[in-house]
């Protein structure tokens, strides 16, 4: 043990390399043990509000830990305080939301990123952080079948790892506005963005953040277009709304098409949306089409699912989250654009302290100009490790198995006369519910489904979520349950056990 009472560090109790090594081994062992016993925990946390905070000291510690030995209390608290307060997203019986995949290679990449402590805001602050990111995103573009002009090797396109799909939507929107200005729209224009009623709330939030929308209730500047019975955007309504806004003197500049909506996994007709933009003056005046494929984009590694993005020739940017369904732990969003100039024009700010010869040469990428924050972690490491460990075959097998399990679950629902599939399955997402009883009002049917959901979730054996599919084309709004299959360790036995619990829990 070193003597921390004297020396140039002023007695700061840093871990020695050997202490760090021992604790690091122990922490990796703890994580591995956690993964091995995941199925022993209630999937949804059972603690009441305030239950975790009540076990934590009110004030911060005055004295630090005495080296390795002092960490015994931390490992005890992990077991006694943290684990009971977790909802176990990596549980193979977690079916509530779209997955938040983690895998061994990704965790090791995250560990290495933290250990290296690199800040990759500029190429010059760590060339490997930039060039590895560029290369692995080009690999991912190839694996998902994206057009060549979305890759770094193209004349106009490129890609970057954002934190989330919400950040990707925001940077796409500010790039869209910049391009519309280049096409002659005044800076003080009354801007209008479009998405379907099923789009993620991040579209509205992006519009609020960049000043397009004046609040969460602003339906003048963020137009939510009604959908078909399959919950995809209706192109004819989009066209009508764009023309109405043009006639009113507003400036349509941005459309977000969703592929794999949160509620039902619905996909907007990307090709038809692009054709609407081309038929109206919107495209000629710089209008931007962004595709939010946050969850479903991972399925593009399988060629049989690439019809999801029919119409990419009219798309300006696309984003999806490897951290959802491609075995890469949070956070990792792959953002692609075929107009990097608009992005750089919108986001580049260069104070004197960031100027350097490499950037001035124009021969390198400075990813701080591709995102909202200045600083950035070395996130490419975990994606690199995942791609190298699993390879294209392993990634395809991962997706295909979950889609197969979705098909199995859908078949069990369809075969039980008490249940119904609410909308056709989307990849590995199944929306289903108890059927209405004869003469039963919709509110009572919804209540029975709510009770079923709470009953199975309270068991701790599984975790599902719900959504409300809004009224469309004469059909009433419906409360439905969501079975989102996608956790890294989910096998058929977990899906079957979930179905058996559901079927036996009907009141």
Tokens of 144: 């998902």
Question: Of 343, 313, 294, which Cα lies nearest the Cα of 172?
Answer: 343
Question: Residue 421: phi, psi to the nearest 5?
Answer: -80, 120
Look at residue 10 and tell me whether its pLDDT is greater than 70.
Answer: no
Q: Domain 398-504 has what CATH class?
A: alpha beta
The CA-based angle 301-290-232, given to 5 degrees, is 80
Residues 6+ apart with CB under 8 A from 37: none
Long-range contacts of the stretch 343-348 (C-beta < 8 A, 24+)? 343/171, 343/175, 343/178, 343/369, 343/370, 344/369, 344/370, 345/175, 345/178, 345/182, 346/171, 346/174, 346/175, 346/177, 346/178, 347/171, 347/174, 347/175, 347/371, 347/372
- Stretch (H or E) spanning 431: strand 429-434
In the prediction, which pLDDT does 68 show?
Answer: 66
pTM metric for this prediction: 0.93
The strand pairing partners of 489, in sequence order, are none
- For the residues of 357-423, what is the DSSP string, one character each? HHHHHT-S--GGGGSSSS----THHHHHHHHHHHHHHHHHHHHHHHHHHHHHHHHHHHH-TTEEESS
Confidence label for 492 from pLDDT (cuts 50, 70 and 90): very high
Look at residue 5 and tell me whether its pLDDT is greater than 60.
Answer: no
Average pLDDT, the chain: 93
In the prediction, which pLDDT does 8 show?
Answer: 56
Query: What CATH homologous superfamily does 17-43+45-86 map to?
Result: dopa decarboxylase, N-terminal domain (1.20.1340.10)
In the prediction, which pLDDT does 362 show?
Answer: 80
Segment 188-229, tens digit of pLDDT:
899 999 999 999 999 999 999 999 999 999 999 999 999 998
In the prediction, which pLDDT does 291 show?
Answer: 97
Domain boundaries 111-387, corresponding CATH code:
3.40.640.10
In the prediction, which pLDDT does 6 show?
Answer: 45
Instruction: For residues 424-442, give the mean pLDDT.
Output: 95
Question: 158-172, 198-212, 277-291, 361-375: lowest mean pLDDT where?
Answer: 361-375
Q: Enumerate the domain spans of the chain.
A: 17-43+45-86, 111-387, 398-504
Segment 296-351, tens digit of pLDDT:
999 999 999 999 989 999 999 999 999 999 999 999 999 999 999 999 999 888 87
Segment 439-470, tens digit of pLDDT:
999 999 999 999 999 999 999 999 999 999 98
Instruction: For residues 378-390, give the mean pLDDT.
Output: 97
Instruction: For residues 146-159, give the mean pLDDT.
Output: 95
């Amino acid at each position: 043990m070193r003597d921390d009472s004297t020396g140039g560090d002023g007695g700061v109790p840093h871990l020695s390399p050997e202490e760090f090594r021992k604790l690091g081994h122990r922490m990796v062992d703890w994580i591995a043990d956690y993964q091995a016993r995941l199925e022993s925990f209630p999937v949804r946390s059972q603690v009441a509000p305030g239950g975790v905070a009540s076990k934590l000291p009110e004030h911060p510690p005055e004295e630090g830990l005495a080296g390795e030995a002092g960490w015994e209390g931390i490992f005890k608290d992990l077991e006694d305080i943290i684990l009971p307060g977790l909802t176990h997203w990596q549980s193979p019986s977690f079916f509530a939301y779209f997955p938040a995949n983690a895998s061994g290679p990704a965790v090791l990449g995250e560990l290495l990123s933290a250990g290296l402590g690199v800040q990759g805001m500029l190429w010059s602050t760590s060339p490997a952080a930039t060039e590895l990111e560029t290369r692995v995103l080009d690999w991912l573009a190839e694996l998902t079948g994206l057009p060549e002009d979305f890759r770094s090797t193209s004349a106009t396109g490129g890609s970057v790892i954002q934190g989330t799909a919400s950040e990707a939507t925001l940077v796409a929107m500010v790039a869209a506005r910049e391009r519309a200005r280049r096409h002659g729209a005044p800076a003080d224009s009354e801007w209008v963005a479009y998405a379907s009623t099923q789009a993620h709330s991040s579209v509205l939030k992006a519009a609020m953040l960049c000043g397009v929308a004046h609040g969460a209730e602003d339906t003048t500047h963020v137009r939510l277009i009604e959908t078909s019975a399959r919950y995809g955007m209706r192109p004819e309504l989009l066209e009508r709304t764009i023309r109405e806004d043009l006639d009113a003197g507003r400036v349509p500049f941005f459309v977000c098409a969703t592929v794999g909506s949160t509620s039902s996994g619905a996909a907007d007709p990307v090709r038809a949306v692009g054709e609407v933009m081309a038929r109206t003056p919107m495209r000629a005046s710089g209008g931007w089409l962004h595709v939010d494929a946050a969850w479903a984009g991972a399925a593009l590694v399988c060629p049989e699912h690439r019809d999801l993005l029919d119409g990419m020739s009219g798309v300006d940017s696309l984003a999806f989250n490897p951290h959802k369904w491609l075995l890469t732990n949070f956070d990792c969003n792959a953002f692609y654009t075929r107009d990097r100039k608009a992005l750089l024009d919108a986001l580049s700010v260069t104070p004197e302290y960031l100027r350097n010869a490499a950037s001035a040469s124009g021969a390198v990428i400075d990813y701080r100009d591709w995102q909202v924050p200045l600083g950035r972690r070395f996130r490419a490491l975990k994606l690199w490790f995942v791609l190298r460990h699993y390879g294209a075959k392993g990634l395809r097998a991962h997706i295909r198995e979950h889609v197969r399990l979705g098909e199995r679950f859908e078949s069990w629902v369809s075969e039980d006369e008490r249940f119904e599939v609410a909308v056709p399955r989307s990849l590995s997402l199944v929306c289903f519910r108890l059927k209405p009883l004869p003469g039963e009002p919709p509110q009572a049917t919804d209540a029975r489904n709510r009770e079923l959901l709470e009953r199975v979730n309270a068991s701790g054996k599984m975790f599902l979520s719900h959504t409300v599919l809004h009224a469309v084309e004469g059909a009433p709004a419906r409360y439905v349950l969501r079975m989102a299959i996608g956790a890294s360790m989910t096998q058929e036995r977990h899906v079957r056990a979930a179905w058996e619990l559901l079927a036996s829990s009907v009141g």
